[in-house]
Structure 1
């Protein structure tokens, strides 16, 4: 089944050109099934770019998914027009009475700040707590994952001497996990961050399972099985040119930045990068959506109130 998004959302044309199945409102109404309700709390500055990346991965699922775009109410992004936000986004206050099968929280360019120094931390902490009762399965990405892991598990982050930047080989530590079904023993994922979490801190927290690790950049994917929560510390959702654009942006601003590791052929920024993580990005999101579908209550209002079906 295709993904259901607003007919005029800019991501729609991009997804259609890529062959992603997108459903119109009128078609969704005719289908006698309950679509999965998945919300995206988009903390990235370029909201259109990020919503397209996430919609691309969700839209590849064979299940019907309705995507709700959410933003922090007290924060005004600088790189997205007010018109776009008004047209397509709801604040958390506007959707807080709803229940969702899945809830995705993106990264944000605030990772070098202490969590409590982020201007919207208080609202974000409320949202994290709200997911305990209103969301069946949360999926946290990059800084969003570090923030949630700190909030729920006191898992600290550590400043890096230089940015972890490039495409790094990952180790599959849990091939029997349903979230890693079909994954290779090792695979590549884009990394772009100034902070990290440490293995010993993860291992000291029994509620967290380390599913994927990287020798060079540390833990990559954790799960809190009891809460059906995933913590992805890297940017598996990135498209082919995301790292290239970050590299060129930092250089234009005289920010010291190395050529992204293992990204450009021959480490030559003049050559087009090769996307070698696309298949595993689709696998991870597809596996997550499948697990959500198998375990979420049929009645949305039962989320957070009753035992769920076994996955």
Structure 2
């Protein structure tokens, strides 16, 4: 089944070229089916790229999925046109009285700023609290995961000596968890962040379960015991070239950043990277939509 997106959304052309099954809103409204309603709070600076990354993964299941993009009202993006945001995004005030089957809160380039100093932090805290009653399952990515761990469970972040960037091997600790169904014993995933979260604090929390981690990159997939909050510290949604683009961007800004590890063949940035995480990215998002959203959400929200 398809994902339902606005007809003029730029990501549509990318997805059509990849044969991702998409459907316009007008056609979807004529189908006698209960679609999943997914809200995406997109905090990434290059919003159009992030849109395509998440839609690609959400469109790879038998379920029909309606997507709503959310923007912050207390901060205006400097990297995405106001026209794009006005046409395809809504604000929290416009959805606060609605219920959603699932929600994704993305990463954001604010890791080195204290949480309460982020310009939209109070707004985000309100959204975090709202998800407890208005969303069946919320998926938090990278900084969004760190922010959720801090807000919901009081677990802070620690600045790293140098940026954690590259493709890392991960182990799983409980293969009976449905979010990990079908995963290999060891799988790979991208990380791109300047801060870290304490594995010990996660393990000591009575409300959390560490599902996967990396010896090099630390905690990766964490979930609340009620499975309503899932935190992923890396970027399974990243495309093959995303880390290379970030590396080039940072160098052009004059930043001293390491070459992403285990990413370029022979660690040579002049060689084209090879994607070794795509299948697990699709599997993770399919498992989330199926087991944590579709099979848990009420048919009719009350």
Same fold (TM over 0.5): yes
Residue 187 of structure 1: aligned partner: 187
**In 2, Cα distance between equivalents of 1:30 and 1:122:** 39
Cα RMSD (Å): 0.8
Q: CA deviation at 1:227?
A: 4.8
- 1:244-263 equivalences under 5 Å are 244-263=244-263
Report the number of matched residues. 301
**In 2, Cα distance between equivalents of 1:153 and 1:32:** 41
Q: CA deviation at 1:174?
A: 1.5
Q: CA deviation at 1:74?
A: 1.2
**In 1, Cα distance between equivalents of 2:18 and 2:265:** 24
3-state SS, counterpart of residue 226 of structure 2: helix
- 1:92-103 equivalences under 5 Å are 92-103=92-103
3-state SS, counterpart of residue 29 of structure 2: helix
Deviation per residue, 1:93-112 (Å, 9 max, x gap): 11111110001000000001
Residue 13 of structure 2: aligned partner: 13
Gaps of 5+ in 1: 303-311
Residue 90 of structure 1: aligned partner: 90
1:238 aligns with 2:238: yes
Residue 39 of structure 2: aligned partner: 39
Structure 1 residue ranges, 4+ long, deviating more than 6 angstroms after superposition: none
**In 2, Cα distance between equivalents of 1:33 and 1:229:** 27
3-state SS, counterpart of residue 34 of structure 1: coil
1:298 aligns with 2:274: no
Q: CA deviation at 1:272?
A: 1.1
**In 2, Cα distance between equivalents of 1:147 and 1:136:** 19
Residue 269 of structure 2: aligned partner: 269
Q: CA deviation at 1:25?
A: 2.2
Q: CA deviation at 1:30?
A: 2.8
**In 2, Cα distance between equivalents of 1:227 and 1:203:** 16
- 1:196-235 equivalences under 5 Å are 196-235=196-235
Deviation per residue, 1:74-98 (Å, 9 max, x gap): 1111100000000000011111111
**In 2, Cα distance between equivalents of 1:118 and 1:30:** 42
3-state SS, counterpart of residue 151 of structure 1: helix
Deviation per residue, 1:172-225 (Å, 9 max, x gap): 111111000100001100000001111110011011000011001110000013
Residue 51 of structure 1: aligned partner: 51
3-state SS, counterpart of residue 211 of structure 1: strand
3-state SS, counterpart of residue 284 of structure 2: helix
Tell me the TM-score normalised to structure 1 length.
0.95
Residue 62 of structure 2: aligned partner: 62
3-state SS, counterpart of residue 235 of structure 2: coil
